[in-house]
Amino acid sequence: MLTDKLPRVRLAHLPTPLQEMPRLARALGGPRLFVKRDDQTGLATGGNKARKLEFSVGEALRGGADTLVTLGAVQSNHARQTAAAAALCGLRCILVLRGQAPSAVTGNLLLDHLLGAQVLFSGTRTREEVAEQVLADERAAGRRPYLVPVGASDEFGAPGFVAAIEEVGAQLEAEGLRPDRIVLATSSFGTQAGMCAAAKALRFEAQIAGIAIDGTQAEVQAGVADIGNRTLRRLGLEPSLTPREVVAYDGYLGAGYAVLGEPEKEAISLAARYEGILLDPVYTGRAMAGLVDLIRKREVGKDETILFWHTGGSAALHAYADELLARP
């Protein structure tokens, strides 16, 4: 394994299942569809951050940390999984979430509290400013905080998705499958970066198509190449990723980050009703909406085989109950 020499703690249930979605494929009149169930990683429900945190927390423990500090949105899946990882490893956890405390404590935010994290809101300051202050205060109190960046998206977290490509590569080979593309939600770039780094190193041939959640194509390409190259370097490999070769679609940004629109609602409904699979309002709903559109536009051909990477997030569904049930 490419990641064998890196510090790692086991947090996730791996390998996650690889399943076909025949009813959804038929409903779309489209390509053969498979799904990689990273919503089933465990770690206080599931999601892609579990894979990254295995390596981020491995690095934190190697350096003697006693406290994890991280940042996110109010309904951050990453914050919730970091809180769970801290609990599992006997570490303290401080979460810095954007903006004001909402009136309802629900979804991921509820789980953050149950998992014992200290939850701070940045208010009118930036999350980064508040996190810097937290780190300084912790150090002054004689503790050893480790800052996990947004989404655990750096060269310390992305190796989780290098290992994930090795994992799915073995599953695909065992099933005799050769997907044309992997389609995934991309936001803080670490997931796609780890995948692209692995694809380089292993000559994995499927296109890795990121559906941008909250960035332009150019931002995703630059961010993925940067973290991907830092990851390759950390693995002792040539940092040869270029922004141009990173595939990113930015046509599905809707009204902005975490704003649920009709395309996301339709995608959530399709996956639920045809496959019994729960997508989420912020990431996988938007990514699936993008895939559905690419199929309808025939940009993804009927004869292709597509692997949709389910990155999790269903813990946020409850925070969107009213909007999800509202009629257009």
* Footprint on this chain of ligand PLP (rule: CB under 6 A): 47-48, 77-78, 151, 153, 185-192, 280, 283-284, 311-313
For ligand PLP, give the closer residue by CB, 193 or 235: 193
For ligand PLP, give the closer residue by CB, 138 or 190: 190
Contact 40, 114 (CB under 8 A): no
Contact 300, 181 (CB under 8 A): yes
For ligand PLP, give the closer residue by CB, 201 or 317: 317
Contact 213, 288 (CB under 8 A): no
The minimum distance between CB 283 and ligand PLP, in angstroms, equals: 3
**Cβ contacts of residue 71 below 8 Å, gap of 6+?**
79, 95, 96, 97, 98, 127, 128, 131, 149, 150
Contact 250, 217 (CB under 8 A): yes
For ligand PLP, give the closer residue by CB, 145 or 190: 190
The minimum distance between CB 156 and ligand PLP, in angstroms, equals: 13
Smallest CA-to-CA distance from 232 within 74, 50, 6, 81 is with 6
Report, as residue numbers or ranges, the catalytic residues.
76
Contact 95, 119 (CB under 8 A): yes
What is the Cα–Cα distance from 279 to 46, expressed in whole angstroms?
12
DSSP codes, 165-193 = HHHHHHHHHHHT---SEEEEEESSSHHHH
The minimum distance between CB 191 and ligand PLP, in angstroms, equals: 3
